[in-house]
Amino acid sequence: MASPAKFTEVAPALVDAVEYVNSVSAYDFSLWATVLGQTSQFGVSALCPDFGPFSDEMAQRGREDETFGGKVAAVAACMDGSPEDTLWRNMHSTGNWSEVPHVLSNVMIEPPAGQFAAVLAWAVDLTTYLGEQHGAVSAVSASAWGRPNSARMIFGYDSVQSFQERTEAAQEDAGFNERFAAGAELGQPVNLETNLLRRLI
């Protein structure tokens, strides 16, 4: 989270750092800023088939790349507290993910004890329905590290306007509402977070 006193400085510093990493890394990183949700939040994401080589590359860069170190220090000077690292395993997806969406809606659920598998199955059913009926671009993932025993649904959009239109269409769909309501049978989540993110890079 950005420090309120440094809010106008953090985005340029993050853009500079992520653009640099993309120029030297074997991986492609995206930079996200919050549109709806807790303000002053930013996120960096990357898709990797194997976490080990990904982690090794980043650790080596942290040890040896002075340019990277300077850019990270510039970002750190704008932050309020430490960032959170999480690792998510993709379990299911719908739609075309050949390009990174411009906008993402993000739902993170920490289910009650014993309901992790059931929540994942519910999320897969819900996103499959939205993919079939509304052409939704979505993914369901699970985390054991950083966000232990948590499930996540993300939906991709071309724009915030597209997010609004697709959300309203789903809310008027009886099949979606029936499936959404079934989630209540799984118990009260320990933690539930939602936000809307715009891609900066």
| Residue 121 shares a structural domain with residue 153 | yes
Q: Residue 143: beta bridge partners? A: 150
Q: What string of H, E and C letters represents the secondary structure of 2-17?
A: ECHHHHHHHHHHHHHH
* Last residue within a domain, chosen from 48, 76, 104: 76
User: What's at 100, amino acid-wise?
Assistant: V
User: Taking 80 as the threshold, does the pLDDT of residue 5 lie above it?
Assistant: no
| Residue 60 shares a structural domain with residue 106 | no
pLDDT above 70 coverage of the chain, percent: 100
Q: d(Cα 186, Cα 157) in Å, to the nearest integer?
A: 28
pLDDT digits (tens, 9 = 90+) for 70-127: 999 999 998 888 888 999 999 999 999 999 999 999 999 999 889 999 999 999 999 9
* Last residue within a domain, chosen from 56, 76, 96: 76
What SS3 state is found at 136? Answer: coil
Question: What is the span of the domain harbouring residue 21?
Answer: 4-76
Query: Is 113 exposed, middle or buried, given 0-12, 13-18 or 19+ CB atoms closer than 10 A?
Result: exposed
